[in-house]
């Protein structure tokens, strides 16, 4: 019997797939962004996403007004950095390229590697700033999505096969 092995994601691809999943926590109706902080071994230290500050509820007026939104929303990168100590993070995986302000904070925090999926069409200064100081890699978002989709489909198939074979009992 041959084993049908699924493609194994690299550590960067794994972190980006987690970031992609973490975007579901964002409350921003315009752009959902997430970031994952990992140590030198690729172990996840923290998750961050864009949205209001802890305990703050933003009104529809704020979400509709870009200027108010910019003053109120915490970026995913800043959120994830607020959960870790300086020089603890090796890699930050972002769904969106960091803006200049976040890029400066990432360098200040001692991050060595930033990976991301989508360019930020309003600001490429962040990536330019990072490239002069640390390693920056852009990944193909379609590839990350395909890896995630193949894995989820296989997971559901394994679950169904196991249930058919009587290997698992359903919980109510």
pLDDT tens across 9-62, in order? 899 999 999 999 999 999 998 899 999 999 999 999 999 999 988 888 889 999
Over range 84-92, report the average pLDDT: 98
Share of the chain above pLDDT 90, in %: 62
Element (H, E) at 103: helix 100-108
In Å, how far are 14, 46, 76, 150, 151 from 9, measured between CA atoms? 6, 20, 23, 11, 10
Give just the sign of the alpha carbon dihedral 93, 95, 101, 102: negative
In this prediction, residue 4 has a pLDDT band, given cuts at 50, 70 and 90, of: low
pTM: predicted TM-score of the whole model, two decimal places? 0.86
Identify the burial level of 139 via C-beta atoms within 10 angstroms of its C-beta, where 0-12 means exposed, 13-18 middle and 19 or more buried.
middle
Give the 3-state secondary structure of residue 94.
Answer: strand
Share of the chain above pLDDT 70, in %: 94
């Amino acid at each position: 019997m041959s084993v049908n092995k699924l493609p194994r994601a690299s550590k960067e691809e794994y972190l980006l797939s987690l970031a992609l999943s973490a975007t579901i926590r964002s409350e921003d109706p315009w752009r959902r962004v997430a970031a994952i902080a990992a140590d030198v071994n690729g172990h996840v230290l923290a998750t961050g996403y864009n949205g209001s500050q802890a305990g703050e509820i933003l009104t529809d007026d704020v979400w509709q007004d870009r200027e108010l939104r910019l003053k109120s929303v915490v970026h995913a990168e800043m959120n994830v950095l607020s959960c870790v100590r300086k020089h603890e993070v090796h890699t930050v995986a972002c769904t969106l390229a960091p803006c200049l302000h976040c890029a400066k904070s990432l360098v200040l925090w001692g991050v060595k590697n930033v990976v991301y999926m989508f360019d930020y069409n309003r600001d490429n200064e962040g990536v330019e700033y990072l490239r002069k100081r640390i390693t920056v890699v852009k990944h193909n978002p379609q590839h990350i999505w395909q890896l995630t989709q193949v894995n989820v489909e296989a997971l559901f198939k394994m679950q169904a096969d196991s249930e058919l074979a009587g290997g698992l009992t359903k919980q109510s």
